[in-house]
Chain A
């Protein structure tokens, strides 16, 4: 049985490499009973989405969204 610490380690590594079948199976069992790690799993995805948005300039102010430039 995986601990939460080990589960989060695998959930993090899944962002860099494919997990083995054994790792995936162990993770599924753990996630089925652990709400904290289920939340962690979603949050690792959110961190990626947020980071990519930031790297595209989402952190910069958009007063009035995308002001249409007069042509």
Chain B
């Protein structure tokens, strides 16, 4: 019977844990694919971020520290790819995307007031949701259901924390259009999260 080899003193155990690494990689890939249309670019960004982390394995003696770091590198890689893509994509293919920027249907009545079943309810326990794996799967599904440009605008703003001017440049839209995209994305996303997570069926009015 062979003993597992002794780890060098400062090698953190996570770097030897294939289950942890595979799981981390899967989530990084999900995060990248939500934002990059080209799966190869997403794959490259994840690969580079992970290789960087493994090279510096000794700097992280906890999994949380590693995860935070590796995601911050991944964000840089994705931001770079988004800027590059913008330079490659012809403007005509951006224009064709207009059609998916429709107003979320049936949220407001003709005077602009909430339809009663669409009125935002009180959300219970948003902090607890952050600790719940099921919640994150719902969050990802809701993001995937956003019309493409609304989703891209939202993720550049809220994941990448890009300023409006930069997002306008990448998406080739005016500031007014960007505000419309983000408004619609937030209306849709909050509705999806409310229906799928925060409010149980049969909510009181």
Residues of A within 8 A of B (CB): 3-6, 8-9, 12-13, 15-17, 35-37, 39-40, 42-44, 46-63, 65-71
Contact = CB atoms under 8 A, between A and B. Distances in A.
A6 to B, nearest CB: 6
Interface string B77-112: 000000000000000000000000000000110011
A42 B13 CA distance: 40
Contacts of A61: 23, 27, 133
A45 B31 CA distance: 21
Contact of A47 (B13, B121, B190): B190
Q: Chain A binding site: helix, strand, loop or mixed by DSSP?
A: helix
Contacts of A54: 31, 136, 139, 159
Given A36-B119, A36-B120, A60 B24 contact: yes
B57 to A, nearest CB: 10
B64 A62 contact: yes
A43 B120 contact: yes
A23 to B, nearest CB: 13
Interface residues of B, number: 58
A12 B31 contact: no
A4 B113 contact: yes
A69 B14 CA distance: 8
Contacts of B75: 55
Interface string B13-40: 1100000100110011011000000000
A46 B197 CA distance: 13
A55 B71 contact: yes
Nearest to B61: A69
